[in-house]
Amino acid sequence: MKGTIAEKILSTHLIHGKIEKKQNIGIKIDQTLTQDATGTMAYLQFEQMGIPKVRTDLSVSYVDHNTLQTDFRNADDHRYLQSVAAKYGLYFSKPGNGICHQLHLERFSVPGKTLLGSDSHTPTCGGIGMLAIGAGGLDVAVAMAGEPFFLTVPEIVNINLTGELPPFVSAKDLILEVLNRLNVKGGINKILEYSGSGVKTLSVPERATITNMGTETGATSSIFPSDEITLDFLTRQNREKDWRALKPNEDAVYDEILEINMTDIEPLAATPHSPGNIKRIADLERMEINQVCIGSCTNSSLRDLKTVAQILKGNVVHKDVSLTISPGSRQVVNHLIESDEVSYIIESGARILENACGPCIGMGQAPGTNAISLRTFNRNFLGRSGTKDAQIYLVSPETAAVSAIEGKITDPRNFKTNFKIEIPGRFLINDSLIIPPLKNLENVDIYRGPNIKPLPSFPPLEERLKAKVLLKVGDNITTDHIIPAGAKILPLRSNIPALSNYVFSVIDENFYERALDSNGGFVVGGENYGQGSSREHAAIAPKYLGIKAIIAKSFARIHKDNLVNFGILPLVFQNNSDYDQIRQEDRLELVLRNIDNAQITAINLKNHKKILLTHNLSMRDLSILKIGGKLPYIRQKNA
């Protein structure tokens, strides 16, 4: 990985360790971001550290997830977040301003800097040449306290792009092709670094679509060079002073190279219920649809919505289809108004929603029973839309818009109208909904609504664990399986006792009662356990119910870190065949005396068989686990 863009940024930010394969390193974090679904918990944790002010170059608290205020809870959380930002020196982006990733790309991203965000799609800013990484809220809180972020040195995969995307084929189709090749775990512990002549044909918003959805491969991050196209974007944002050139050395060495000729890409879709289930649109054509949702942090840029507006111009949405559009920011809306393209959208019969995540995280627009919904989002996990039996397909804005007109899945290359996208020479800048840090932080009172409950504390790790297997699951269990998204549950993110009622409810609606009756226990999983969102609640709430360890074939990166942060032991089978030796309701005993040497023996008390387990945790991770989690570890370190 010598001479790669990622290696250069890691090297200039290195605080602990050596940049060698599989080594644990600590890096300086320049910027952080949170959103309201994860931010409340992150700032409750930050408060407990006793730090008077954030110690990053810049930290931003965004409100973009829980904007549907059906009662007092979301509104109270937003007041808490604004008061915390004022107290500790953060920027605060108010509800309605836009989606955190789109806004950060527009207003705060800086090539060559590091960004840590409590949202798994933080790598969006890799489209501008940042090393942007998603993490759990506690890791972000620790970074705001000035501590380094620790990670295993990732492999660097070069995705070499040649050619140019054909008409009506977009960046979304390109990243779906990457997912087709890597699937949802092919990027684990890797950084996807894009290069090649094809890069020059992609605008920053198109690059950001690709880096955003690279998260679905399990990648630590995705990154593009910072070049003249990056400079052009920043200049239009009146931020040219933030630009710096950043490219790999000509003799850069990568761990793996993936060649993609963009000329060969065609319209694609991720079919239910995984972003990795890729099929050609040509093979899905004529399937009748009920709903189309355009937007989310993946496809809500000005470039995307101008394209949609031009397709809708002079056309009407099919009578049997509901079409909604969620712009990424107020800047995008202002430009659609200025160009009069918003009228094309309105006249077509589309519904314009708030500048927020909205339907992507189940906050409204749940499809009807057994409905087929096309969405330009990044995830189509089972039940995430709010309707468990709905069929969700992930597609490009071009495919979505054309299909909305036709009433069935349609290859957009068959759309006959030609048009040209005109991007303004200077973007309209209006930061009135971004509240900058206060100069005087001392006289700020923090507001806490009645739904904000104190953080639960957890005991140190025991030397011997004996309990029942409460649940056995298969491969690719997502954080949506563990803690669902949606309008019903998201308002509980600052209330762990209430949230814990929904742990694994998508899989087993009786899990909460069984966990309480058994005084906790173990969960057994397959490959890529915990893929998806960065929500640390998928670790905190199970820990609150007494989950002691997760035994799986492999783990998604962020979720494994979150398990460690809250004192749940993540263990893997030495032999994956032993997965079949454990059944739900079996009682296991884990002997941890050799845990420092990564040797753990599990005894199945039902048949007395021994099962060998291991881990790839660092000594620092083990210290965090032994003391009961990262918060007591940081408090002890600071003391």
Note the pLDDT tens digit of each residue in 499-552: 999 999 999 999 999 999 999 999 999 999 999 989 999 999 999 999 999 999
Reduced to 3 states (helix: H, G, I; strand: E, B; else coil), residue 527 is coil
Give the Cβ contact number of residue 72 at 10 Å: 13
Candidates 615, 635, 471, 575; CA nearest to 24 is 615
Bridge partners, residue 256, by sequence = 157
**pTM of the predicted model, to two decimals?**
0.94
pLDDT per position as a tens digit, 62-119: 999 988 888 899 999 999 999 999 999 999 999 999 999 999 999 999 999 999 999 9
Q: How confident is the model over 452-460, as a mean pLDDT? A: 88
Q: In the numeric block, which tokens belong to residue 247?
A: 């490219």
Domains in the chain (CATH in brackets) are 5-264 (3.30.499.10), 268-414 (3.30.499.10), 464-638 (3.20.19.10)
Q: How many alpha carbons fall within 13 Å on the CB side of residue 33?
A: 29
Instruction: Report the half-sphere exposure of 202 (CA within 13 A, side-chain side).
Output: 33
As a whole number, mean pLDDT of residues 359-374 equals: 91
Mean pLDDT computed over 366-372: 94
SS3 189: coil
List the single range of 332-341, 355-364, 617-626 with lowest mean pLDDT. Answer: 355-364
- What is the pLDDT averaged over residues 126-131? 98
More confident call, 14 vs 491: 14
Q: 394: which strand partners?
A: 270, 375
Q: Are strands 149-152 and 24-27 parallel, antiparallel or unpaired?
A: antiparallel
The band of 52, judged by pLDDT with boundaries at 50, 70 and 90, is very high
Report the C-alpha gap between 432 and 381 in whole angstroms.
36
Average per-residue pLDDT for the chain:
94
Please tell me the predicted confidence (pLDDT) of residue 100.
Answer: 96
- CA-based radius of gyration for the chain: 24
For the stretch 6-19, pLDDT in tens is: 999 999 999 999 99
pLDDT at 456 over 90: no
- Confidence class of residue 123 from pLDDT cuts 50, 70 and 90? very high
CA dist 320 to 268, 306, 323, 400, 414, Å?
23, 24, 10, 15, 21
Residue 187 pLDDT level (bands cut at 50, 70, 90)? very high
The tokens for 71 are 């009662």
Q: What is the largest CA-CA distance in the chain?
A: 72
The stretch 302-313 carries a mean pLDDT of 97
Per-residue pLDDT, averaged over 27-38, amounts to 96
pLDDT digits (tens, 9 = 90+) for 425-437: 999 999 999 999 9
Measure the CA–CA gap between 473 and 487, rounded to whole angstroms: 26
**What is the pLDDT at residue 558?**
94
- What's residue 489's pLDDT? 87
Q: Please, which pLDDT band fits residue 1 given cuts at 50, 70 and 90?
A: low
The answer, yes or no, to whether the previous bond of 273 is cis (omega within 30 of 0) is yes
pLDDT at site 231: 98
